[in-house]
Amino acid sequence: MLLANLNYNVNDIVTLKLGNGEELVGKLAERTDDEITLIRPLVFTMHPQNGQAMLVPWLMSINPMGTTPISINRSNILAVTKTMKDIADSYIESTSGIVKPPTPGLVL
């Protein structure tokens, strides 16, 4: 992978598509030639009752509000990119409790 053309940096909220089909969202802690390290990785899943997409903890046996970095071997990653704003905001709200106000717009 050519590191010079990446559109994400440390501390960005990024999305990883894994070889098993899972899509992770997390805060990028570190990237090396061999691994990408995330803090508080969440996985996209569908709500079983209403079919809505939702973020849930990727690893159930760790503290979901902890800051333990989780390293993922690049051989398991198909794609990585900066997460779109709406989903990144939802991730931040889920992991920190911080709710971003809506973007002001024209009120008619």
| 19-44 confidence digits (pLDDT tens) | 999 999 999 999 999 999 999 999 98
> If pLDDT is split at 50, 70 and 90, which confidence band does 2 have?
very low
What pLDDT is attached to residue 108?
Answer: 54
- Are the beta carbons of 72 and 38 closer than 8 angstroms? yes
Structure tokens at 88: 């990144």
pTM of this structure = 0.82
In this predicted structure, what is the pLDDT of residue 100?
66
Consecutive H or E run containing 17: strand 13-18
CA distance 37 to 27: 8
Distance between CA atoms of residues 55 and 52, nearest Å: 10
Segment 62-108, tens digit of pLDDT: 887 788 899 999 999 999 999 999 999 999 998 887 766 666 666 55
Distance of CA 59 to the CA centre of its chain: 13
